[in-house]
């Protein structure tokens, strides 16, 4: 079975559109997201445009603040301060990566945790860790939706996460644990990775290496979720899993593109609605 991230994402966006309509009817205003982008990185510009478009699609307001690459830390902190204080702004997102001269950690700390729709603020990371999250980190939350809406329950299953980044691997493991999975986290220092991945009932891969997971690393009947977004030798978008080889072995698998990718922005929309509901 191929897990259709595009279709599942469209289904959730339709649900969010309905929830947004009900919210506007009750509260008299729409949830609103402010996105800050610094510099002219083409990939970041595409992501920001897609986020603004997604907001429009479900009836949210959105504002994009495009700042020049030479923006200072003080100027950026000033803008964040204004957005924090503005009651018409419900979600704030600073598109990463930032130009090298800016201190990313300090900026993420400056965002009001109640408006931190990316869930990167240590306050929200802590809430997730103690099992009381307000916002779920977008990409791992998208993976959980794909797993659940495929009819798979992680409870009691061996869930192996390959990758331990703060954005994907670590929060992914926490969400699977919260869903009562038995979780193993692997990384670049894991010994005999294949021996571990072969024991996974649910295998989530977030490594950032094209076609890294081969068929002999996957147990027959496993659910395989590929978070990776890479270019192969021909410049074609591909995941961390060798899809053609693994698909016959897996019970269910996400393709790249069309798997996890479409879910991330959808989960950002969900967090923006949550932020608006709570303010």
Specify the stretch interacting with ligand NDP by CB under 6 A; choose among 61-69, 108-116, 221-229, 247-255. 221-229
Q: Does 261 bind ligand NDP (CB under 6 A)?
A: yes
**Phi, psi of 145, deg, nearest 5:** -65, -40
CA–CA distance, 96 with 193 (Å, rounded to integer) = 30
Q: Does 188 bind ligand NDP (CB under 6 A)?
A: yes
Task: Specify the DSSP element, H or E, that contains 52.
Answer: helix 42-58
Choice among 4, 51, 201, 240 that is catalytic: 51
CA–CA distance, 16 with 32 (Å, rounded to integer) = 13
CA–CA distance, 117 with 221 (Å, rounded to integer) = 35
Per-residue interface string for the shown chain with ligand NDP, residues 84-123, x marking contact by CB under 6 A? ----------------------------------------
Measure the N-to-C terminal CA separation of the chain; round to a whole number of Å: 41
CA–CA distance, 187 with 102 (Å, rounded to integer) = 28
Q: Does 208 bind ligand NDP (CB under 6 A)?
A: yes
Q: Which is nearer to ligand NDP, 8 or 89 (CB)?
A: 8
Q: Is 219 a catalytic residue?
A: no
Q: Does 191 bind ligand NDP (CB under 6 A)?
A: no
Q: Are 159 and 174 contacting, i.e. CB atoms less than 8 angstroms apart? A: no
CB of 117 to ligand NDP, least distance (A): 15
Q: Is 118 a catalytic residue?
A: yes
CA–CA distance, 23 with 276 (Å, rounded to integer) = 9
Q: Does 136 bind ligand NDP (CB under 6 A)?
A: no
Q: Are 169 and 185 contacting, i.e. CB atoms less than 8 angstroms apart? A: yes
Q: Which two tokens stand for residue 144?
A: 């959980």
Q: Does 187 bind ligand NDP (CB under 6 A)?
A: yes
Specify the stretch interacting with ligand NDP by CB under 6 A; choose among 106-114, 119-127, 149-157, 158-166. 158-166
CB of 36 to ligand NDP, least distance (A): 18
Choice among 4, 118, 226, 242 that is catalytic: 118
Residues forming the site for ligand NDP (CB under 6 A): 139, 162-165, 167-169, 186-190, 193, 206-208, 227-230, 260-261, 264
Catalytic residues: 51, 95, 118
């Amino acid at each position: 079975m191929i897990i259709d991230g595009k279709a599942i994402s469209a289904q959730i966006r339709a649900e969010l559109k309905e929830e947004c309509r009900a919210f506007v009817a009750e509260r008299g205003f729409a949830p609103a997201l402010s996105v800050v982008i610094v510099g002219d990185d083409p990939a970041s510009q595409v992501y920001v445009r897609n986020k603004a478009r997604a907001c429009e699609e479900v009836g949210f307001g959105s504002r994009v603040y495009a700042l020049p690459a030479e923006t200072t830390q003080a100027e950026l902190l000033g803008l964040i301060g204004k957005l924090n204080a503005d009651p018409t702004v419900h979600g704030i997102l600073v598109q990463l990566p930032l130009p090298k001269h800016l201190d990313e950690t300090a900026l993420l700390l400056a965002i009001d945790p109640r408006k931190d729709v990316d869930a990167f603020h240590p306050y929200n990371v802590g809430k997730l860790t103690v099992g009381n999250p307000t916002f779920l980190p977008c990409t791992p939350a998208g993976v959980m939706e794909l797993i659940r809406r495929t009819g798979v329950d992680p409870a009691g299953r061996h869930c192996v996460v390959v990758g331990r980044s703060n954005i994907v691997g670590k929060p992914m493991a926490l969400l699977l644990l919260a869903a009562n999975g038995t979780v193993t986290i692997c990384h670049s220092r894991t010994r005999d990775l294949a021996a571990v991945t072969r024991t996974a009932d649910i295998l989530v891969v977030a490594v950032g290496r094209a076609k890294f997971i081969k068929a002999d690393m996957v147990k027959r009947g496993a659910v395989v979720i590929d978070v990776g977004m890479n270019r192969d030798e021909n410049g074609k978008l591909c995941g961390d899993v060798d899809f053609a080889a693994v698909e016959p072995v897996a019970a269910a698998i996400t393709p790249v593109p069309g798997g996890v990718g479409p879910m991330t922005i959808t989960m950002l929309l969900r967090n923006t609605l949550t932020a608006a509901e709570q303010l």
